[in-house]
Amino acid sequence: MGDAKRHDDAVTAELRLPITGDCQLDEAVLRWLSWDKNVHTRAELLALLAWPHVDELRSRLSSRLTFGTAGLRAPMGAGFNRINDLTIIQATQGLCAYLLRCVPDTAHRGVVVGFDARGRRESGCSSERLAALTAAVMLSRDVRVHLFSSYIPTPYVPFGVLELGAAAGVMITASHNPKEDNGYKVYWCNGAQIASPHDKGILKSMEEHLEPWSASCWDVQLVHTSPLRTDPLSHVDRRYLDQLASLCFHRQINSSCPLKFVHSSFHGVGHVFVRQAFQAFGFPPPIPVPEQKDPDPDFPSVRCPNPEEGESVLELALLLAEKEKARVVLATDPDADRLAVAETCDRCEGQVVVTEPGKGAWSGHRCRWKVFSGNELAALLGWWMLFSWKETHDDPADLQHVYMLATTVSSKILQALARVEGFHFEETLPGFKWIGNRIHELTGSGKTVLFAFEESIGFLCGALLPDKDGVSAAAVVAEMAAYLHHRKLSLQQQLHNIYLTYGHHVSTSSYVICNDAATVHKIFARIRDFDGRGSYPDTCGGVRIVHVRDVTTGYDSSQPDCRSVLPVSRSGHMITFTLHNGVVATLRTSGTEPKIKYYSELCATPGISDVCCLEAELKQVTDALVEEFLQPERNKLIRRIV
User: What amino acid positions are annotated as catalytic residues?
Assistant: 175
Contact 29, 20 (CB under 8 A): yes
> In angstroms, rounded to a whole number, what is the distance separating the alpha carbons of residues 453 and 435?
8
Here the contacts of 277-281 (C-beta below 8 Å, separation 24 or greater) are 277/241, 277/244, 277/471, 277/472, 277/474, 277/475, 278/474, 278/475, 278/478, 280/241, 280/244, 280/245, 280/248, 280/475, 281/244, 281/245, 281/248, 281/251, 281/254, 281/475, 281/478, 281/479
> In angstroms, rounded to a whole number, what is the distance separating the alpha carbons of residues 287 and 283?
11
Contact 537, 527 (CB under 8 A): yes
Contact 154, 191 (CB under 8 A): no
The residues that bridge with 330 in the sheet, in sequence order, are: 263, 341
Contact 501, 226 (CB under 8 A): no
> In angstroms, rounded to a whole number, what is the distance separating the alpha carbons of residues 23 and 25?
5
> In angstroms, rounded to a whole number, what is the distance separating the alpha carbons of residues 116 and 584?
37
The residues that bridge with 598 in the sheet, in sequence order, are: 510, 587
> In angstroms, rounded to a whole number, what is the distance separating the alpha carbons of residues 256 and 259?
9
Cα dist from 570 to 69, 408, 436, whole Å: 12, 16, 20
> In angstroms, rounded to a whole number, what is the distance separating the alpha carbons of residues 540 and 625?
6
> In angstroms, rounded to a whole number, what is the distance separating the alpha carbons of residues 453 and 57?
40
Contacting residues for 116 by C-beta, under 8 A, at least 6 apart: 127, 151, 152, 154, 171, 172, 173, 268, 269, 295, 334, 335
Closest CA to 347 of 494, 496, 499, 489: 489
